Structures are given as C-alpha cells and as structure tokens.
Structure 1
Amino acid sequence: MTGRGTVERIFIAPEAEVAMREQDAVEAVAGCGLQGDRYWSELESGTFVGWDGDEERDAGFDLTLIEQEAIEALARESSIELAPGEHRRNIETRGVALNHLVGKRFRVGEVVCRGDRLCEPCSHLQRLTQDGVLGALTHRGGLRTDILKGGVIRPGDVVELLE
C-alpha cells in the first residue's frame, strides 16, 4: 500500500444499526459529515453520538474509511466474510495505508479531510456481525476523519496525502 489510493465503494446508513446502503456518490459537508448518514450533524442518530447540539461536535465522526485490503485479509486469515457495508465504515479504499493518515490532511476526490484517529473495531460491530471481528480487525479497522472542505465523493476518486 502507498500514500495514494482510490475510493472503491461508498456506504451510508440513515440510522444506527440499520444496514449500510451503497451509494454512487455522496455529498460531504465540512463539520457535518456525509449527507444522509447517521452521523450527519443534523441527524446525529449514530450509536456513538457524543454531541447534543449545545456543544461542539466530537471529532472524527464526519467520515470513516476502511481498506479493502483489510476486509480481504479478514476473510483470508480469519474466514470471516463481511457483506458489503457490514464493516459499518463509509468509504472502502484500495492502495492507501489509512493508519498513516492519523493527524494528517488528505484528499478524497475534491474533499479535504484530516485523519483524527483509528477506527478500531468494537463489541458493537462484533454484535452486528460475528464473533472474531473485534480481534481480527484490531489496528486495521479503518480511520475516523473530520471533513475540512466539502464536496462530492464518488467511486474511483483519488485518496492522497496533502502534507
């Protein structure tokens, strides 16, 4: 994997715990998230919401990404095959080391993001999928980001480091 990759698939879910829906394109808005997603600041119906409208929104809830290579490794190494979007992340990438983007500014198509922290798997994800997911995705469960400059994200868009 390199510092430059591509968007392979896009998913959103309008509410907590409902199935992720694949999208052909999604509008990303700085400080708000992905339009129509459960963590969009106007909806805030995600499971891990820490924002009540009276204070500043928690960092790292605008957009989540996961490497397709991690999903493939999960199947290969642990015999756990997740259905499309079952990983609960918004963007699947290929060819970019997402862990290296923590604390960095990067571009997803025309959208500028800052990597906030790793998106480690949790017992909630394991409860929604199957036993073993939590351990098998540790340190490769993706990246939580903040959107700094909005725009539209589409499959095939470039993901690359700006700094």
Structure 2
Amino acid sequence: MTLPPADSALGKLMATLPRPGRVEWIGVRPARGQVVEAMDAAIAVAGGGLQGDRYAGGSGKRGVTLIQAEHLPVIAALAGLDAVAPQLLRRNVVVSGLPLVALNGRRFRIGEVLLEGTEPCDPCSMMEAALGPGGYNAMRGHGGLCARILEGGTFRRGDALVVVTD
C-alpha cells in the first residue's frame, strides 16, 4: 500500500491514532485444519511466522495475521451467532483499542517484535464450516490484517501495539 506523504494533511490524519492497541489473544495453527492453540506468549521469527504455526518457516508478507477484537461481535452478529471465539477465525493475534486498517503499509511493534502491515487478511472458505452458511461473507471487511515480521522476538498477551514513526 502506498501511503500519502507524512507531511500532507491526509498523511497526518492517517498517522494519528487515538491510543496504542493491546494484545488480547494469541494463537498458532499447527497444521491445516487443526484446532488453533491459544498461547500466553509467542516467538516471532524474522522473515517467517510464529514459532509453532504452520506458516513459521517463511510466509513473508503473511507472517502474522491480526484481527480487531471490536470486530468479533460484529462477525458474530452477521453470522447469526451469539459470540465468536478467536480460535474459529484462525488468526494469530486479537488486538483491541485501535483500527487495524490504519496499520496497512505501516510499521508497528508488539513487545520485542517489529512488524509491517502488508495487506488485508481476507477470509477463506473455511469460515463457512466455522461460522455456518454465510460465514465467509460475515467476515468480509472484518478479516483483519496480514503483517511481515521485520525483527523477531517475543510478545505476550497484554502487550501494547505501538505504531513506529520514522
């Protein structure tokens, strides 16, 4: 994604966030179709993914997938469910407190890890089985963000997500 110049009016608006985000949940997908395992902490590998995740070995721009906590009730409502557990959505990190869409094309830190938002994380066909008929469409526009791991390290539930300004 190409961002507007940082000193432009739109660039300043796009760079202004109300507060840091917060990691609410972390999970890894050991293999395709297997249950997502919730974790208290994760080790991120630069240029790859999260240790223990099926994409850990070199997934590049999709090294980590994030979803916004505030979207979980929206997805549940659109799917006709009372609630949606993060594991069902097969994302690695649930973040609250800031709009993830604002991180596309930007660098940010969670714990020791430096990431860069690369693209929206669109839903996959597995959402029909996870959420029921229409589950794929319930997630459209709410699927979160993919990020590349630029510097590895550890992050934990409760860590802040802070945008890095150059």
Normalization by structure 1: what TM-score? 0.83
Q: Secondary structure at the match of 1:39?
A: coil
Alignment of 1:136-151 (within 5 A): 136-151=138-153
Alignment of 1:1-163 (within 5 A): 2=18, 4-41=20-57, 57=58, 59-80=60-81, 81-163=83-165
Gap runs ≥5 in structure 2 = 1-16
Gap runs ≥5 in structure 1 = 42-56
Rate the CA distance shift 1:111–1:58 in 2: closer, same or farther, 3 A: closer
Q: In the alignment, is the contact (CA less than 8 A) between 2:60 and 2:149 conserved in 1?
A: no
Q: In the alignment, is the contact (CA less than 8 A) between 1:59 and 1:116 conserved in 2?
A: no
Q: In the alignment, is the contact (CA less than 8 A) between 1:114 and 1:146 conserved in 2?
A: yes
Q: In the alignment, is the contact (CA less than 8 A) between 1:14 and 1:38 conserved in 2?
A: yes
Cα separation, 2, equivalents of 1:105 and 1:84? 24
1:160 to partner: Cα distance: 1.7
Cα separation, 1, equivalents of 2:42 and 2:147? 16
| Count of aligned pairs | 148
Which has a greater percent of helix?
A: 2
Q: Which moved more, 1:146-155 or 1:69-78?
A: 69-78
Cα separation, 1, equivalents of 2:121 and 2:18? 19
Rate the CA distance shift 1:128–1:35 in 2: closer, same or farther, 3 A: same
Q: In the alignment, is the contact (CA less than 8 A) between 2:79 and 2:132 conserved in 1?
A: no
Identity %: 37
Q: Secondary structure at the match of 1:86?
A: helix
1:77 to partner: Cα distance: 4.3
Q: Deviations over 1:69-90 (max 9, x none)?
A: 1112222344233234110000
Cα separation, 2, equivalents of 1:73 and 1:118? 17
1:3 to partner: Cα distance: 5.2
Cα separation, 2, equivalents of 1:101 and 1:84? 20
Amino acid aligned to 1:121: P
Cα RMSD of the aligned pairs, angstroms, is 1.7
Q: Secondary structure at the match of 1:60?
A: helix
Amino acid aligned to 1:109: G
Normalization by structure 2: what TM-score? 0.82
Q: In the alignment, is the contact (CA less than 8 A) between 2:112 and 2:154 conserved in 1?
A: yes
Cα separation, 2, equivalents of 1:153 and 1:92? 13
1:150 to partner: Cα distance: 0.9
Q: In the alignment, is the contact (CA less than 8 A) between 1:3 and 1:161 conserved in 2?
A: no
Rate the CA distance shift 1:17–1:129 in 2: closer, same or farther, 3 A: farther
